[in-house]
Structure 1
Amino acid sequence: MAQITASMVSELRAKTGAGMMDCKKALTETGGDIETAIDYLRKKGLSAAAKKAGRVAAEGMVTAAGQGRIGAIAEVNAETDFVAKNTAFQAFSAGVAEAVIDHAPKDLESLMAVAFPGTGRTVAEEQTHQIATIGENINVRRFARFAVDAGVVTSYVHAGGKIGVLVELATAKEDDERVLTLARQLAMHVAAANPQFLDRQEVPAEVVDREKEIMRVKAKESGKPDHLVEKILDGQINKFFGEVCLLEQAYVIDPDHKVTKVVEALAKEIGAPVKLTRFARFQLGEGIEKKEDDFASEVASLVK
């Protein structure tokens, strides 16, 4: 049997919000596998892990660039939250997004090799320059770039760079102010509602199967008879899609209507097809573990 350490219990607790003893039991029951333990806790109704995008731990900012038919967002990380207020760091982050617009890199490696605006250096060289100037480690983590032949791409940055969003609407009436308004509102919706997929066709089969299994176990443990469990699952999985799929979410500005109905209503209003084709949402530091100092242990080691 795998040894269950305090750090494993602490990690599981941070990811699920479950109690310490529940986390220890879950790890014991699952042989120390964190992901399986998360499922174990969810089946017992002890975890809200499915609604978490990941621990937000890294500092820095998300920036945006572009307008009209093209847009980009980029996340640049740093060691402390102070650096996000540094004008040199802000200018570097904005320059990274501009480089994405200008050069359309296919991946992060390609981005680091292109020219950084106005410096004669590459993005990688400018990053090294800023590390030396600011005195703190800086890392270009990821980016997204949308370009549409007919339509609009809108960006939205929330809370000074904590969340960045891109939304793409395909339509021939790209200059219609009603289209631009809805695109901006949808970008704010994505920032607030945090969808994981555009529609249910994008949800991987293994994700759906995992959710169904968790729902099935919880339904059976609640005493529901077997002949009702599958009917209950149908309703619950539809509710799941309504939570994670953008087009099926309740529109934050008008919760009585789903996003897909709002887009359809706009198309009818302007007399031309409108399609919400894709979106991207970056939350600063999501999925990155930040080292937490154990001051008690540090003091103890100094005493020794």
Structure 2
Amino acid sequence: MANITAGMVKELRDKTGAGMMDCKAALNEVEGDIEAAIDWLRKKGLAKAAKKAGRVAAEGLIGLAVSGTEGVVVEVNSETDFVARNEQFQQLVRGIAAVALATADDVEAVKAAAYPAGGTVTDAINSAVATIGEHMALRRSKKLGVSAGVIGSYVHGSVGEGLGKIGVLVALESTGKQDELAALGRQIAMHIAAASPQGLDAASIDADVVAREKAILAEKAQASGKPANVVEKIVESGLKTFFKEVTLVEQAFIHDPSKTVAQAVKESEGKVGAPIKLAGFVRFGLGEGVEKQESDFAAEVAAAAGV
């Protein structure tokens, strides 16, 4: 039997909102596997979907740069939040974003690209590490572009121009009025920052994610004794609800919840004066999916003092 710690129970409770004893039981059932425990709780009707954004975040900054019909978002991590407020680190992140905008859409290519102050991006990071005294790393970089239209952008938790805790780009393809498109693009980018969609539409959601959701819906329906034909309808209905929650085009628009994002885009075509295609988006939240080891500060002080 797996050794189930209090920390594991707390992590599962934070991610699901389920009761402590239910979390402990779930972990015992699945030999301590957190993701499997989340599914176990959901099948029992004791938890909602895993809150991926609730994972402990790494520190650092998200950097964003837009020029014409192209934009890029980068994530540069550091060990502490203090570094994010350091002017040298902020300048480094801005510089990396500028380089990434002019480089192939590949994080390794960005690391190897020339940095304006000399050397490569990797050299610039290493130099900052030596000066500031903390480990730093370019974790990811993603570009977005359109042939005609605008790249809308938004930075949440901003600490400076193009820098913050969440960075969003959204691609709107259109030959319409640029100012109207830009205003719409910012509104949608703000929506994405708040609603955190998993994909543009149903077709863009990972097949494994959809299969997992179907399995959970089916098992819950079967557990209630429903016949096969009813289970199938319940799963179909559940998936429709799921897609409304996780796909950008079907989410209720935060600026007007009476309509979906897709409807808001369609209605904006009159102002823009041309058809609009919502072509894609990028959303980087600082430290998404990165587990940071938490320390007991009091215990560390006691240990250092030999208590």
Q: How far apart, in 2, do the equivalents of 1:230 and 1:300 lie?
A: 58
- Residue 95 of structure 1 aligns with an amino acid whose one-letter code is G
CA distance in 2, matches of 1:166, 1:251: 16
Q: For 1:280, which of 279, 282, 298 is the aligned residue?
A: 282
1:33 deviation in Å?
2.6
Separation in 1, partners of 2:13, 2:306: 29
Deviations 1:176-208 (A, max 9, x none): 321111111111111111101000011223222
What RMSD over aligned residues (CA atoms) do the two structures have, in Å?
Answer: 2.3
Partner residue of 2:172 out of 169, 188, 191: 169
Q: CA deviation at 1:269?
A: 4.2
Q: What secondary structure is seen at the aligned counterpart in 2 of 1:89?
A: helix
Q: Partners in 1 of 2:281 and 2:265 — Cα distance?
A: 14
Verify the 8 A CA contact 1:56 1:284 in the aligned structure 2: no
The corresponding residue for 1:265 is: 267
Q: Which residue of 1 aligns with 2:161?
A: none
Task: Tell me what 2:141 maps to.
Answer: 143
Residue identity (%) = 52
Kindly provide the CA deviation profile for residues 196-223 of structure 1, in whole angstroms up to 9, marking residues without a partner as x: 1000011223222211221233334456
Match of 1:20 in 2: 20
Q: For residue 164 of structure 1, what is the amino acid of its counterpart?
A: G
* Residues 297/71 of structure 1: CA separation in 2 closer, same or farther (3 Å cut): same
Unaligned 5+ segments in structure 2 are 159-163
| Number of residue pairs the alignment of both structures matches | 301
1:159 equivalent among 157, 160, 164? 157
Q: Which residue of 1 aligns with 2:126?
A: 128
3-state SS of paired residue (2:287): coil
Is 1:72–1:155's contact at 8 Å kept on the other side of the alignment? no
1:62 shift after superposition: 0.7
- Cα deviation for residue 29 of structure 1 reads 1.2
Pairwise mapping of residues 1-304 of structure 1 onto structure 2 (< 5 A)? 1-102=1-102, 104-117=103-116, 119-160=117-158, 161-173=164-176, 175-222=177-224, 227-295=229-297, 298=300, 299=302
Q: Tell me whether 17-26 or 235-244 shows the greater mean CA deviation.
A: 17-26
Deviation digits for residues 261-281 of structure 1, max 9, x if unmatched?
A: 111222244442210000000
CA distance in 2, matches of 1:243, 1:51: 13
* Alpha-carbon shift at residue 139 of structure 1 (Å): 1.3
CA distance in 2, matches of 1:296, 1:42: 36
1:198/1:245 contact within 8 Å kept = yes
Question: Aligned equivalents of 1:87 and 1:125: distance in 2?
Answer: 18
Report SS of the residue matched to 2:64: strand
Question: Any idea what the Cα deviations from partners look like across 1:222-279, whole Å, max 9, x if unmatched?
Answer: 5656553332332221111011000111111111111111112222444422100000
Alignment partners' CA distance in 2, 1:98 and 1:147: 15
Unaligned runs of 5+ in 1: none
Amino acid at match of 2:114: A
User: What is the TM-score with the length of structure 2 in the denominator?
Assistant: 0.89
